[in-house]
Amino acid sequence: MITDLFNVKRWEAFFKVLPGQYIPGFLMTLRVALAGLLLALVLGIIFGLFSTSKVKICKLLSRVYVEFFQNTPLVVQVFFYYACLPYVIGGRVPKFTLGVIGVGIYHGAYIAEVIRTGIEAVPRGQFEAAYSQGFNYLQTMRYIVLPQTIKIIMPSLANQALNLVKNTSVLAMVAGMDLMYYADSWGSDRGYFVQAYLPCALMYFLICFPLAKLARWLEVRAKQTPVPKKRKEVA
């Protein structure tokens, strides 16, 4: 292991495949992560709002979505999309779409929960005050509640983004042409596993570390800026 680590010949071999395999893989991972995050946010906001709404059917829909996707493994979900969707839609699912759907729907469920708890953390009084000023539901959400929610949920949202990036690596199992796929492919081809996986980890780190830093910074900031507190009931 240690001698492998400093094997110059093997590192040379790695740098030869870096532009042709690792870089395209890295870009694929980045694209899937960005589009996946977008999808997850959209789904998360919709279902997060659903679960806090008073409409029964919306609430039920949201619960089913969240519970189902939170409580089944991502690998199973992606394998399902990969192996079963072609039978349903009668064609191949492009790898990019597969990845975006996979991590997007999965993390959408988590983000829905994050948003639900964020909204519930805003005191009822804020809603009541807004309604008393003549705001309707959407306006209340848009101008009063969500701006406060965002501050509360930012740290956990950044955490979700972090996990989403790492979870895109599940694509490697279905030949997803992502970073992990190329690392795995080259590694098993040549047997230079140290040189295959270490830079791969480093490249995931490159994406995730700034996100983690951001999450930490948001957490600190969230603690410093005041959020409305529940008032004591005045008799």
Partner 1 sequence: MKSKAMKTSAVLVAATMMMSAVLTGCGGSTSAPTTAPTTAPAAAPAAAAGDVSADVQKIMDAGVLKVGCKIDVPKFGLQNTGTGEMEGLEIDLAYHIAGEIFDCTAEEAKADKLVSFQGVTAKTRGPLVDNGEVDLVIATYTITPERKENWNFTTPYYTDAVGLLVLKESGITSIQDLNGKVIGVSQGSTSKEGFLAYCEENGFDVKPEFEEFDGYPSLAAALAAKNIDVFSVDRAILAGYNDDTTIILEDRFAEQEYGVVSKLDNKGLADLADGVVTGLKDSGKMDEMLKEWGIE
| Residues in contact with partner 1 by the rule CB under 8 A | 82-84, 86-87, 92, 173-175, 177, 181, 184-185, 188-191, 193
If the CB atoms of residues 72 and 188 are measured against partner 1, the closer one turns out to be 188
Q: Which two tokens stand for residue 155?
A: 């740290």
Q: How far is the CB of 196 from partner 1 (least distance, A)?
A: 11
Q: How far is the CB of 206 from partner 1 (least distance, A)?
A: 24
Main-chain phi, psi angles of 42, to 5 degrees: -60, -50
If the CB atoms of residues 90 and 134 are measured against partner 1, the closer one turns out to be 90
Q: How far is the CB of 28 from partner 1 (least distance, A)?
A: 13
One-letter amino acid at 199 equals: P
Cβ proximity of 48 and 116 under 8 Å: yes
Q: How far is the CB of 31 from partner 1 (least distance, A)?
A: 18
Measured CA to CA, the distance from residue 129 to residue 133 in angstroms comes to: 6
Q: How far is the CB of 194 from partner 1 (least distance, A)?
A: 11
* Dihedral angle over CA of 165, 166, 170, 176, nearest 10: 50
Burial of 167 (0-12, 13-18, 19+ CB in 10 A): buried
Q: How far is CA 188 from CA 7, 176, 192, in A?
A: 17, 16, 7
If the CB atoms of residues 92 and 221 are measured against partner 1, the closer one turns out to be 92
Q: How far is the CB of 191 from partner 1 (least distance, A)?
A: 4
If the CB atoms of residues 79 and 135 are measured against partner 1, the closer one turns out to be 79
What is residue 214's three-state secondary structure?
helix
If the CB atoms of residues 40 and 177 are measured against partner 1, the closer one turns out to be 177
Q: How far is the CB of 34 from partner 1 (least distance, A)?
A: 23
Cβ proximity of 62 and 141 under 8 Å: no
Burial of 29 (0-12, 13-18, 19+ CB in 10 A): buried
If the CB atoms of residues 109 and 196 are measured against partner 1, the closer one turns out to be 196
One-letter amino acid at 118 equals: G
Measured CA to CA, the distance from residue 168 to residue 104 in angstroms comes to: 10
If the CB atoms of residues 41 and 180 are measured against partner 1, the closer one turns out to be 180
